[in-house]
Chain A
Amino acid sequence: VVDRVAGKHLFGGLQRRSQPRGISCSRVGLTRNSLFPCVLIRNEERTPAAYRSIVRFANVRRVDGIEEHRISAAPAPLGTLGELCENLTAMVGRLGPEVRANLVRQDFERFAAASGDDPKLEEENGRAVAPLLFVCSIQDWHSPPLLDGLRWDGTGGDRTSFLPLDGFRLMGGGQEIDFHAPVLEGTELRVQASLENAELKHGRSGDLVVLTVKTIYADETGSLLVTSIDTLLVR
């Protein structure tokens, strides 16, 4: 059973011609037992591409050899990828929130252990040095951490929370990182992200928007520690 609001999202998407690929409109209709709209996909149409496409709108429930894709908490994307790219292009230069965080040795050790590295840390003047990729791997620095602000799929940390990405799928594509100085325990880190670029591309698995987000990491005196340019893929 599909709820009314989600159904509206689905049909809104179809009217904007952003319906899941590989699923014909005639497959959209009412179920026998439901007054609300849902999408039916026959087994032979359940290709990976169609499947990936429809999950923007729905979860899956098997009914008598037919996949009934049921709307979940996933919100519909706010427009097409082309519209998103236009919106983001207009936002180039926009700054995210400046976030501060106190760096402690135990977080460095946990990061080293979790990444499969030796948790014994280097030291400089008695202060532990953070593992090389520590600061630019952390997705959110808010203190206290924010859970309510996250998107339904868990994305939405400092680097992207200020961008209108609700309903789109977000993946890390890589980083270019410059290391200016060692990151030491006891530092009050200052983190600031900004949107550098947005570009619509046509990839092997469909269209995507490639976002470039620059993040600057400095210490409490403003001295630059690390600069990172992230590539984020939005589908």
Chain B
Amino acid sequence: VQGPATIDALARVPSRVQLFCFSAVTWNPHRIHYDPDHARSEGYPDVLVQSHLHACFLVQALTQTLGPEAIIRRFSFQNVAFATAEEPLTCSGALHASRRVPDGLELEYELTETDSRGDMCARARATVLMPTAESQVSE
């Protein structure tokens, strides 16, 4: 028994408005995310997508495929390259390992997020518990 072998591709295009709202709601005042002049002064072509927003997209890809019953126990991500506002991003992934545990099936997925040129912006690894019917009944 194992979980889905692949994570369905998820497309996201983070708009300037979204970057602003994400900075606001996470209380992230770093100018690099909303001040284009400042971003350029640091050598970037435009405002940057937040590190954690990349991570949110990767988690959304995972839960889109695995469904709400999946319990994410561990999630690690690395920002590999920057992405700017309005850049189309695509998240996808594949099953790396699976094993039975007392409360269900533990799955390990590897995920990547790439930009429109196919270059990787972020990668992640997630450990997910899929409760089995037996473990749910026994609870």
Contacts and interface: CB of A to CB of B under 8 A. Distances in A.
Contact-size category for A = 35 or more
B97 to A, nearest CB: 17
A59 B35 CA distance: 14
Nearest to A169: B42
Contacts of A138: 26-27
A154 B30 contact: yes
A25 interface: no
Interface of B: 12, 14, 18, 21-22, 24-32, 38, 41-43, 50-53, 55-57, 59-60, 68, 72-79, 122
Given A174-B78, A179-B74, A179-B75, A116 B12 contact: yes
B103 to A, nearest CB: 14
A137 B30 contact: no
Q: Which secondary structure characterizes the binding site on chain B?
A: mixed
Contact of A117 (B21, B31, B60): B60
A122 interface: yes
A173 B41 contact: no
Contacts of A176: 74, 76
Interface of A: 48, 51-52, 55, 59-60, 107, 110-111, 113-117, 122, 131-133, 136-141, 145, 147, 150, 153-155, 157, 169-179, 231
Given A171-B51, A179-B72, A179-B73, A114 B78 contact: no
Contacts of B78: 173-174, 231
B55 A133 contact: yes
B25 A178 contact: no
5 contacts: A114-B24, A132-B59, A136-B52, A154-B30, A169-B42
Nearest to A69: B41
A7 B50 CA distance: 33
Contact of A150 (B25, B29, B43, B73): B29
A2 B31 CA distance: 23
A116 B19 CA distance: 10
A177 B125 CA distance: 10
A155 B32 CA distance: 10
A116 B60 contact: yes
Nearest to A180: B73
Given A114-B18, A155-B30, A174 B25 contact: no
Given A115-B22, A116-B56, A116-B57, A139 B27 contact: yes
Contact of A55 (B14, B42, B73, B122): B42
Contact of B51 (A52, A117, A147, A173): A173
